[in-house]
Amino acid sequence: MESYDVIIVGGGVGGLVSAALLADEGMRVLVLEQGKNLGGCAATFSRKGYRFDAGATIGCGFHDGGPMQWLGDRLGIRWPLLTLPIAWEYLSGKVQLQLDSKRESVFAVFPASEELWREQAEASDILWRVTSELLTLYGQSGFRKIAATATSLLPKLARTRIVKLAGTTALRWLHRHGLGDDTMFRRFIDAQLLISAQTVSTDSNALFAALALDLPRKAPATLTGGMGTVADLLGEAIACRGGKIHLNEQVRRLDQAGDRIQQVVTSRSQYLGKQIVLNGSTASLASLLGKQPSSAWPADNRARWGAFILHLGVQKNLMDGRKARHIQIAQAMEKDDIALRSVFISSSDANDLSRAPAGHLALTVSCHTNVAQWWQVHQESRPKYLQKKQKLTEKILDSMEQHLGSFRDDIDLCLSGTPLTYARYTGRFQGLVGGYAQTGLFAPRQPCYGLKNLHLVGDHRFPGQSLPGVTVGAALVADKIMRMC
Ligand SMILES: Cc1cc2nc3c(=O)[nH]c(=O)nc-3n(C[C@H](O)[C@H](O)[C@H](O)COP(=O)(O)OP(=O)(O)OC[C@H]3O[C@@H](n4cnc5c(N)ncnc54)[C@H](O)[C@@H]3O)c2cc1C
């Protein structure tokens, strides 16, 4: 049986970052990915001449001192960034905002919010500095870390502003500024949080929210070839350091002996690993151990949302004449479903011919949705499920045409995906991709059943700003494994 220092189950960004950092330290790593592409929710896949981003479309954390830049420097990767002077355009009724680093259009429409934004910028600048310092301690001894934490990190975090935000939710923070009952402003904040933190103001810690709301200020970017380029370049970094990556190989079982995982059983083979990294949640771990995920897990984590997504190949430049390539349409919530509350449209760069033929665009259009209803209707009957899928697709297309003009006749290809699709392609429990409670300072607890050589990475583990959050979490796990080995 082949054996490795570390086996990484799942080639999403979390799994790949930890694998690349461990391979960089000379460890023998094996990444097992069930799909035919790396990247999971941040993959880019090909279909009929188009390359679509599976989920994530805007990169952040690539700025000077940001986690993605730190990772690139460490691994010798130059990210092919296409910077976005305007992160995205926000449209809601008569409100139209360009989200850029200066936020002038936001101040013009919501003048009472200036103080909140000042506070947000101050808090997030401190947090970015803390993150950057934390990453510079990567690989250093425990003693140095303790010393640096005591002398530098803690004093930064002990500032009144930070402490005040850490102890409250984003919504209460808005109330402190007299903005919590301003429906239009709250809708705007919730819409931004849905994109950057995959949750809304009621479920978001104010400090994490401050960081998530920083996205337009911190050099947002896309990448040539799509978001999946991040995963592909990490894959190359792993391979050129001697690490192995097996695509289309699903881990079916983790065999436990005492308090350790002894072997990893896949759709093709079996492997021995001294340490195991699982790119997933406790719920995924439970099913690989042959246990029932705790029935309280979704409730404890307030995990109820997944994504509904359209991948559209369009023979027309819908973004012609617009200042941004990403557009968010926000509206009041329909009954108790959050779908259509925020429809996020991301277009490929018209000049990036690796994404779509000349004159065509590859669009990824996403909204959040409660996952339970999709599983329920699918269980009732497949025709009902397909009908529901078609109905939401039509609603999204209607909403897009209302704001962007008619384009249905120019659609070459329309693929739609529900939480069931996400569950199949990313292995995420029930297809959950957001809505995890982040009201406290720490991520929802993800128990590892007392397993000493099992580590979880991914966005269940480290809330905050999507890719950078996952990257920092995975770097901390790699650091811990290096100290154990
Ligand atoms: C619609 C949508 C839009 C988003 N937009 C943005 C954005 O614009 N910017 C941003 O920064 N973030 C965004 N995010 C969030 C970001 O994509 C995720 O937080 C991040 O990609 C999650 O990475 P991860 O490592 O946690 O896991 P995942 O991406 O879930 O990857 C897990 C991987 O493990 C594999 N796997 C699972 N089980 C097994 C098994 N048993 N055997 C083998 N392999 C397995 C899966 O196939 C998958 O590749 C978005 C997410 C979604 C869903």
Q: Is the CB of 371 under 6 A from ligand 1?
A: no
Q: Which residue has the tokens 């979490």?
A: 473
Task: State if residue 53 touches ligand 1 by the CB under 6 angstroms criterion.
Answer: no
Nearest CA to ligand 1 atom 32: 12
Q: How many angstroms separate the alpha carbon of residue 12 from the centre of ligand 1?
A: 5
Residue 446: CB within 6 Å of ligand 1? no
Rounded CA separation 32/7 (Å) = 8
Give the pLDDT confidence score for residue 36 in this predicted structure.
Answer: 95
Q: Which amino acid is it at 213?
A: L
Task: Give residues with Cβ within 8 angstroms of 450, minimum separation 6.
Answer: 259
Q: Each residue of 116-175: pLDDT tens digit?
A: 999 999 999 988 988 898 898 898 877 777 777 767 767 777 777 778 888 899 999 999
Atom of ligand 1 nearest to the CA of 461: 26
Residue 429: predicted pLDDT: 87
What's the rounded Cα separation, in Å, for the pair 259 and 480? Answer: 18
Residue 287 near ligand 1, beta carbon < 6 Å: no
How far apart CA 251 and CA 128 sit, in angstroms, is 36
Crossing angle between the packed helical segments 114-136 and 67-75, to the nearest 10 degrees: 20
Ligand 1 atom at minimum distance from 32 CA: 43
Q: Whose CA is nearest to atom 48 of ligand 1?
A: 40
Measured in Å, residue 36 CA sits from the centre of ligand 1 at: 14
Residue pair 448/284 in contact by the 8 Å Cβ criterion: no
User: From ligand 1's centre to the CA of 176, what distance in Å?
Assistant: 34
Ligand 1 centroid – CA 13 distance (Å) = 7
Orientation angle between helical segments 466-484 and 67-75, nearest 10 degrees: 50
Tokens representing residue 431 in the block: 């297809």
283 lines ligand 1 (CB under 6 A): no
Cα–chain center distance at 312: 21
Residues pairing with 365 in the sheet: 310, 345
Distance from C-alpha of 184 to C-alpha of 332, rounded to nearest angstrom: 9
Name the residue with the closest Cα to ligand 1, atom 38: 427
Please indicate whether residue 345, judged by its CB atom, sits closer than 6 Å to ligand 1: no
Mean pLDDT of the chain: 90
What element of type H or E holds 163? helix 160-166
Half-sphere exposure of 474 (CA within 13 A, CB side): 32
Q: Given ligand 1 and candidates 365, 466, 472, which is best to mutate, with the most ligand atoms within 8 Å of its CB?
A: 466
Per residue of the chain (485 residues), give pLDDT as tens.
999 999 999 999 999 999 999 999 999 999 999 999 999 999 999 999 999 999 999 999 999 999 999 999 999 999 999 999 999 999 998 999 999 999 999 999 999 999 999 999 999 998 898 889 889 889 887 777 777 776 776 777 777 777 888 889 999 999 999 999 999 999 999 999 988 888 889 888 898 899 999 999 988 999 999 999 999 999 999 999 999 999 999 999 999 999 999 999 999 999 999 999 999 988 899 999 998 876 666 666 666 788 999 999 999 778 888 889 999 999 876 555 677 789 999 999 988 999 999 999 999 999 989 888 999 999 999 999 999 999 999 999 999 999 999 999 999 999 999 999 999 999 998 898 865 667 666 666 677 889 999 999 998 776 555 899 899 999 999 999 998 88
Q: Answer whether 468 contacts ligand 1 (Cβ < 6 A).
A: no
